[in-house]
């Protein structure tokens, strides 16, 4: 089956002191024509560098919390960025940044200043999701979700092997790590779980009424799946699923983000929040210019949202969880970037 060729991927965030960043992906609706991924990495000076991946513009970096951006694309031969991930690259060294593109995976070991292709053995170069998982030896395994299934790298992206035994469909939209287990959300195949680092996979779809999985998210011991039929929750590592859609106005959930015990869902009918393990949802998109939400990330103290209007929005998480009043801050859209302009700045809507 040929999948839709237009995708947008959930934003991801890493805080100083944490070890791994997990990327998740989703298929967009027709209004989500651009791709944005966001990743953050400690900058060695007690702060954080923020990275944004775009379709056609490559990777941008912000050192001031998103107030201004500069393109960092040296060595990046494919500027259509579908996924970003950050992974430790050895004791005493900075973290590596990985970018998934239509042309494979690229790695930067210097905060985006330069990039190198790392795709040996990656037989399918359309990389739509990336995640990292501890490998038990102080490092991490890196996983890539592609048109051709899941690939694993145990040497920091230098080489890749396919790890698809038991994976019934090659189209991997989402990857997530929960404890020692790896989960893959797929098109028309539901969710698969691997307990051996991706070597083998088992379908875990009991109660999952929709097999088109756009997003996966982990909150404590709970696993959430955003699907074409709403949100489903598993409390037993994917063995069973239950629909949790009370108050959710749209069936298609394209993106999920977790902050503490709060779960956010982005749909084509707006942004929704659940503060009670998704037993019920409330709409929290006051001030957004467009109700369609393509991607979300709970980064530091803010929630970032990519809307169908082409804009990037942010709002303090504390406001979203305590009050629905007041507009969010809007980052510039693609059209506002002025084509060749490489430096971006926030403006107030």
Q: In what order do the strands lie in the sheet with 81-88?
A: 81-88, 95-101, 104-108, 116-117
pLDDT of residue 83: 85
Phi, psi of 24 (to 5 degrees): -130, 155
In 3D space, the residue among 235, 244, 345, 299 whose CA is nearest the CA of residue 10 turns out to be: 299
* The Cα angle at residue 284 between residues 50 and 62, in degrees rounded to 5: 10
pLDDT of residue 311: 64
Instruction: Collapse the DSSP code of 266 into the 3-class scheme (helix H, G, I; strand E, B; otherwise coil) and give the result.
Output: strand
Instruction: Collapse the DSSP code of 335 into the 3-class scheme (helix H, G, I; strand E, B; otherwise coil) and give the result.
Output: helix
Rounded to two decimals, the pTM is: 0.79
User: What is the helix (H) or strand (E) element at residue 317, kind and residue range?
Assistant: helix 317-322
Query: What does the alpha-carbon distance between residue 207 and residue 212 come to, in Å, rounded to a whole number?
Result: 14
Per-residue pLDDT of the chain (349 residues; tens, 9 = 90+): 333 333 333 333 332 222 222 333 222 333 333 434 666 676 666 667 778 787 778 888 888 766 677 889 999 999 888 888 887 655 444 678 899 998 999 999 888 999 999 989 999 989 988 988 877 666 678 999 998 999 999 988 999 999 999 999 899 989 999 888 999 999 999 999 999 989 999 999 999 999 999 999 998 889 999 999 999 999 999 999 999 999 998 889 988 988 888 999 998 888 999 987 667 899 988 777 666 787 787 777 778 777 766 566 778 888 887 644 344 455 444 434 333 322 233 222 2
Q: Are residues 167 and 201 in contact, defined by beta-carbon separation less than 8 angstroms?
A: yes
Its sign, for the CA torsion 260, 175, 22, 252, is negative
pLDDT of residue 137: 62
In 3D space, the residue among 206, 215, 221, 204 whose CA is nearest the CA of residue 173 turns out to be: 215
pLDDT of residue 229: 94
Helices (H), 104-256: none
What's the burial of 284, exposed, middle or buried (CB within 10 Å: 0-12/13-18/19+)? Answer: buried
What's the burial of 185, exposed, middle or buried (CB within 10 Å: 0-12/13-18/19+)? Answer: buried
pLDDT of residue 279: 76
Query: What does the alpha-carbon distance between residue 108 and residue 95 come to, in Å, rounded to a whole number?
Result: 9
pLDDT of residue 333: 43
In 3D space, the residue among 47, 53, 56, 85 whose CA is nearest the CA of residue 69 turns out to be: 53
Query: What does the alpha-carbon distance between residue 189 and residue 171 come to, in Å, rounded to a whole number?
Result: 9
Query: What does the alpha-carbon distance between residue 290 and residue 53 come to, in Å, rounded to a whole number?
Result: 21
In 3D space, the residue among 43, 9, 6 whose CA is nearest the CA of residue 23 turns out to be: 9
Q: Are residues 268 and 291 in contact, defined by beta-carbon separation less than 8 angstroms?
A: yes
CB within 8 Å of 59: residues ≥ 6 apart? 51, 52, 53, 71, 72, 73, 76, 81, 84, 99, 112, 115
Q: Domains (ranges, CATH) in the chain?
A: 7-345 (2.130.10.10)
CB within 8 Å of 42: residues ≥ 6 apart? 14, 16, 17, 48, 49, 94, 95
């Amino acid at each position: 089956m040929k999948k839709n060729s237009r995708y947008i991927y959930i934003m991801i965030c890493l805080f100083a002191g944490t070890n791994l960043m997990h990327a998740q992906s989703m298929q967009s609706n027709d209004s989500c024509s651009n791709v944005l991924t966001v990743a953050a990495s400690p900058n060695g000076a007690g702060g954080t560098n923020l990275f944004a991946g775009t379709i056609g513009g490559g990777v941008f970096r912000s050192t001031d919390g998103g107030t201004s951006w500069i393109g960092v694309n040296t060595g990046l031969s494919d500027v259509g960025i579908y996924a970003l991930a950050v992974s430790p690259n050895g004791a005493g060294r900075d973290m590596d940044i990985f970018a998934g593109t239509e042309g494979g995976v690229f790695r930067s070991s210097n905060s985006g200043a330069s990039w190198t292709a790392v795709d040996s053995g990656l037989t399918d170069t359309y990389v739509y999701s990336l995640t990292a998982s501890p490998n038990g030896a102080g490092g991490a395994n890196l996983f890539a979700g592609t048109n051709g299934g899941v690939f694993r790298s145990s040497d920091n992206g230098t080489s890749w092997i396919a790890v698809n035994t038991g994976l019934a469909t090659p189209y991997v939209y989402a990857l997530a790590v929960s404890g020692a287990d790896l989960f893959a959300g797929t098109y028309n195949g539901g969710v698969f779980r691997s307990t051996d680092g991706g070597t083998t996979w088992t379908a875990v779809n009991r109660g999952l009424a929709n097999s088109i999985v756009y997003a996966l998210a982990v909150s404590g011991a709970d696993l959430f799946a955003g699907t074409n039929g709403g949100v489903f929750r598993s409390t037993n590592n994917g063995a069973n699923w239950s629909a949790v859609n009370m108050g959710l106005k749209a069936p298609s959930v394209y993106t999920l983000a977790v902050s503490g015990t709060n779960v956010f869902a982005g749909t084509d009918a707006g942004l929704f929040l659940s503060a009670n393990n998704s037993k019920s949802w409330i709409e929290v998109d006051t001030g957004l210019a467009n109700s369609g939400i393509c991607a979300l990330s709970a980064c530091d103290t803010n929630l970032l949202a990519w809307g169908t209007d082409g804009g990037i929005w942010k709002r303090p998480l504390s406001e979203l969880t305590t009050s629905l009043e007041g507009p969010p801050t809007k980052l510039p859209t693609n059209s506002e970037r002025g084509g060749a302009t490489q430096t971006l700045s926030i403006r107030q809507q």
